[in-house]
Amino acid sequence: MRVSYLIKQILYQNKKRSSSSVILLLCIASAFLVFGGFALITLNLRTAAQKLKGEVQIEVYLTDQITSLEFHALLQKMRGFPEVEKVTYRSKREALTQMESYLGEDLLQGLDLSPFPASFLLGLREEHRRFKKVARVASRMQGEEGVDEVVFAGAWLKKLDRTISKFLIIDLVLGTCMALAIVLMVANLVGATVRTKAESIRIMSLLGASGADISLPLLMQGIFLGGLGALLSVLFLRAGYLILTSQFSGIEFLPAHLLLGMILWGMALGAGGSLIPARRLLRAWR
Amino acid sequence: MKELSAKVSSEDGPQLKHKVSSASRTHRESGHAVPDLPAPGDALLTVQRVSKVFDGKVTALDQVSFQVAWGEFLLLVGPNQAGKTTLLRLIASEEKPTQGAILFQGFDSQTIKRKEIPLLRRKMGRIFPDSRLIDDLNVFDNVALSLRMLGRGERRIRRRVPELLEMVGIPATGMRFPPGLSSAEKQKAAIARALAGDPLLLLADEPTMNLDEESADEILMLLREANLLGTAVLLATRHVRLWDGMLPRMLRLEKGRPVAPELDPPVADSDPQSLLCCQRESSK
């Protein structure tokens, strides 16, 4: 059958069952909207976290007795870590100056010698700025000759990682539930179409319609509804995003490939949903 | 009705233009290539000792054998429960024979694969007692259905369907839906649909059952016209009286058994106009 005829049939079927089709479209759009909303929150959270994590560094405090040999061996070792992007040395004097800038000069006035230890500041590559990886690097430095203490902002990094993971799990669970719901909703509507068209389908088969002739329009109907529902949700999301950005700045919108992925995913779910009654029909037909 | 053959387009049915003396020689396109023209009298359909038993108890057909030649008109007569419909269903591969074989265009009922059944059915036109038009589709789309299944283009369909509707005498019904048609109009639309795919064989099951005598005559004339244009017709009917005065070959079934397999001589040499004359007279 020609594509133009199939499209005509799909539009006719949806027009005929317009109220069911509109309800289904809104349900699909709502499901994708909830999913897209959470994806949007996760995306912005991750972006914010990446910015914060850019400031994550490991501070390796050195003993006052560190020898030149130990110092260079330590530096060499740290530069050899694949996770480490940058190594900065902070002398005792620099540490004092930095502390003065935090606490004010008055408090530390009169100190001739800096009471603060010298240290190395290790900046990590972006892909390694996660709690477990940072802790692993820190533990490797612990106990090295010339190292007094290794410190990093573990607690908040752990919390941040956990929050992002939670959102990802929510996205995943939500995405799975949504996918199942859409498949069942489409299966239900296409199933209803099959039931009302049982006699027509029977006649078509008697006239020589193949399995593809019969199941293709059903499949296309599912693809159409799933794709259109997802497209609607993208439009709603965009509208919501525009309203939000008029109030708050710095919010990121979902990237184009993710939006396209949502529409394709909607079409795939629609196809999956319509395959259920189509397969049932073809089995019964056999 | 006289103008029937003149109205058939040359593009969609070049073979319909030949008014060959022996219709059995007609080569039909039907969406597939047939390498050689069949010789006169060649079998288009062969039914070999076919039996059908339902649920192991009810014998619907018992050892039925016959052949339909290319372009032949065969009358399948018998009372209710004679097995006529079952036989047509077996020929269209709706059911498998319990015994025996049905051979049609290289398809064998015993070995045919499921995916081949649509291909077999596309070479046949079906006419049912209740027309079986799809109520959701208008007459145009009902008739176009066979063409769409054959993958014909929409432009071609838009040209061909009105020709078919004109041919069966209901040119103005294209946009109407079946529930709004009379029984005769529905049956005419069903004939147009059956002929749309240029079938090699037309299986007509009691096409006049629900019609008054005048409409029944019109339907039978259309079938005869289709036959004159080269399509073999297997007509199952109880109303033998409608056929008085003509000479189609006849197969009579009673309780699933052929009572007298070759009651009448083959129709090949008979005057093809005899039915038309007869029907026109009877309809007056």
pLDDT tens for each residue of A218-230: 888 889 888 999 9
Fold of A57-152: Alpha-Beta Plaits (3.30.70)
- Note the pLDDT of residue B33: 43
- Note the pLDDT of residue A216: 84
CATH number of the CATH domain containing B180: 3.40.50.300
Domain count along chain B:
1
Q: Which of B140, B132, B282 is nearest to B212 (CA)?
A: B282
Mean local confidence (pLDDT), A21-28: 85
- The helix/strand/coil state of B48 is strand
- Comparing CB atoms, the residue among A4, A5, A208 nearest residue B118 is A208
Confidence of residue B281 (pLDDT cuts 50, 70, 90): very low
Cross-strand partners of B50 = B64
Residue B5 has pLDDT above 50, yes or no: no
- Note the pLDDT of residue B178: 93
Greater confidence, B101 or B3? Answer: B101
Query: What is the Cβ-side half-sphere exposure of residue A221, based on CA atoms within 13 angstroms?
Result: 35
Mean local confidence (pLDDT), A234-252: 89
Q: Where are the beta strands (DSSP E) in B85-170?
A: 99-104, 107-108, 124-127
Residue B264 has pLDDT above 50, yes or no: no
Residue B139 has pLDDT above 90, yes or no: yes
Q: What is the pLDDT of residues A92-129, one digit of tens each?
A: 888 888 777 777 666 666 666 677 888 998 888 878 88
DSSP state of B32: S
The interface predicted TM-score of the complex, written ipTM, equals 0.74
Greater confidence, A139 or B4? Answer: A139
Residues in chain B closer than 8 A to A213 (CB atoms): 118, 149
Residue A14 has pLDDT above 60, yes or no: yes
Which residues of B touch chain A, with CB atoms under 8 Å apart?
Answer: 92, 94, 114-115, 118-122, 124, 126, 132-137, 145-146, 148-149, 151, 153-154, 193, 197
DSSP state of B234: E
Cα A166 to its chain centre, rounded Å, is 11
Q: What is the pLDDT of residues A161-212, one digit of tens each?
A: 788 888 888 888 888 888 888 888 888 877 887 787 788 888 888 888 888 8
Residues in chain B closer than 8 A to A208 (CB atoms): 118-122, 124, 146, 149, 197
Q: What is the pLDDT of residues A32-60, one digit of tens each?
A: 888 888 888 888 888 887 777 777 788 88
- The amino acid occupying position B197 is G
- Note the pLDDT of residue A146: 87
Cross-strand partners of A121 = A59, A88
- Note the pLDDT of residue B234: 94
Q: Which of A66, A269, A45 is nearest to A164 (CA)?
A: A45
How far apart are the C-alpha atoms of B220 and B115, rounded to whole Å? 33
Mean local confidence (pLDDT), B13-31: 36
Residue B9 has pLDDT above 70, yes or no: no
Mutation site for B-interface testing, chosen from A3, A207, A216 by largest number of B Cβ within 10 Å: A207
Residues in chain A closer than 8 A to B122 (CB atoms): 207-208
Residues in chain B closer than 8 A to A204 (CB atoms): 134, 145, 149
Give the domain extent around B171.
Answer: 4-283
Residue B204 has pLDDT above 90, yes or no: yes
Whether B118 and A16 lie within 8 Å, measured CB to CB:
no
How many helices (H) and strands (E) in chain B? Answer: 8, 10
- Contact between B211 and B242 under an 8 Å Cβ cutoff? The reply is no
Residue B138 has pLDDT above 60, yes or no: yes
Residues in chain A closer than 8 A to B121 (CB atoms): 205-208
Residue B34 has pLDDT above 70, yes or no: no
Residue B136 has pLDDT above 70, yes or no: yes
The C-alpha of B248 sits at a distance from chain A's nearest C-alpha, in angstroms, of: 26
- Note the pLDDT of residue B51: 94
Segments making up each domain of chain A, as ranges: 3-50+160-285, 57-152
How far apart are the C-alpha atoms of A61 and A75, rounded to whole Å? 12
Q: What is the pLDDT of residues B40-76, one digit of tens each?
A: 568 899 999 999 999 888 899 999 999 999 989 998 9
Confidence of residue B193 (pLDDT cuts 50, 70, 90): very high
How far apart are the C-alpha atoms of B231 and B179, rounded to whole Å? 29
Mean local confidence (pLDDT), B140-144: 92
Confidence of residue A251 (pLDDT cuts 50, 70, 90): confident
Residue B36 has pLDDT above 60, yes or no: no
How far apart are the C-alpha atoms of B201 and B148, rounded to whole Å? 19
Give the other-Cβ count within 10 Å of B284's Cβ. 7
Question: Residue A6 is encoded by which pair of tokens?
Answer: 């199939």
The C-alpha of A1 sits at a distance from chain B's nearest C-alpha, in angstroms, of: 5
Residue of B nearest to A16 (CA): B136
- Comparing CB atoms, the residue among A1, A199, A286 nearest residue B149 is A1
How far apart are the C-alpha atoms of A35 and A33, rounded to whole Å? 5
Q: What is the pLDDT of residues A60-102, one digit of tens each?
A: 898 888 888 888 988 888 888 888 888 889 888 888 887 777 7
Residue B130 has pLDDT above 80, yes or no: yes
